[in-house]
Amino acid sequence: MVALTLGDPAGIGPELIARLLARPETTAAANVVLVGDPWLWADGQQVAGLNVPTVPVASLAEVRGRTGIAVPAFLAVDTVRPEQVQRSVAQAPGGASVLQVLDHCMDAALAGQIDAICFAPLNKFAMKQGGLHHEDELHHFAEHLGVTGYFCEFNTLGRLWTSRVSSHIPLKDAVTWLTQPRIEAAATLIYRSLQAAGVAAPRVAVAGFNPHNGDGGTCGREEIDIIAPAVAALNAAGLPVVGPFPADTIFLKARDGEFDAVVTLYHDQGQIAIKLLGFSQGVTVQGGLPIPITTPAHGTAYDIAGQGRANVSATANAFAIACRMGASALQAR
């Protein structure tokens, strides 16, 4: 069972979900339930020029045993009024709506009512205006789900995944987050997550931190003192991780199929590469949570919201990963 949400009401999310649910292969892949405001769902269909049938349900608890899953279920909620939303503008009511819907889905996942969540693009500024007290949605998810261990965002493009040792922090602070335990945790987490997504023997590489991989210590010693020992410890634990490799060439190797995953050491080190390789296809996976949560890696695209031009490819990819990981989690229970 996979829950879908409409994302930021002012962005392209409702249109994307309409396009996704119009595809027969979507409901063939999972028992799908859409959670959102009825008026917003109607608006998304109108923008997409589609009419997507759904079956109303009164709660997420009743979706598990339903028949006829070729038609998605729809749980109507009231989180925001039309007059509170201005298309293409980040506003507090929209951010609060996103938080309310996602919290409802996470509660259902904790209760065993759904197996995965795929959410349409959201806007962090709107969410912070609307009550988000963390640096990003991942930290909100982790707190809500009671996570105490290591967690991080994965960005994926086809078979290539990336994880991060640090994420939404000022770049000047990235070096303070660069520790051997965090590198080991990031590599282990993405290795296990790739296995859950269907890769039997993931090939994971770790990027260097300094220019030219530190040039033997003349341009920084993090590769020698921190990263290489972390890789050695991972190998000793039985994980076939390799590296560090210079950050300006590691993605050439990954692009050419040498690796399934790259552990990056700060946000833009991996994000620039992944988005350049395929901005309209990428997916963000919320790693380290007790339930699979995925979303397209692009944003709310305010510049084209309401124009019927949104590309559903990344959303379809995010949904596919949620299905694979959700099925794996269900089998493990």
Q: In whole angstroms, what separates CA 258 from the centre of its chain?
A: 23
Per-residue pLDDT of the chain (333 residues; tens, 9 = 90+): 999 999 999 999 999 999 999 999 999 999 999 999 999 999 999 999 999 999 999 999 999 888 778 999 999 999 999 999 999 999 999 999 999 999 999 999 999 999 999 999 999 999 999 999 998 999 999 999 999 998 988 999 988 999 999 988 899 999 999 999 999 999 999 999 999 888 999 999 999 999 999 999 999 999 999 999 999 999 999 999 999 999 999 999 999 999 999 999 999 999 899 889 887 899 999 999 999 999 999 999 999 999 999 999 999 999 999 999 999 878 777
CATH number of 1-147+289-333: 3.40.718.10
Q: What is the pLDDT of residue 330?
A: 80
Same fold? 1-147+289-333, 149-288: yes
Q: Is the dihedral of CA 181, 186, 187, 191 positive or negative?
A: positive
| CATH fold for the domain made of 149-288 | Isopropylmalate Dehydrogenase (3.40.718)
The pLDDT assigned to 25 comes to 95
Q: For the chain, which residues make up each domain, given as ranges?
A: 1-147+289-333, 149-288
Give pTM, 2 decimals: 0.89
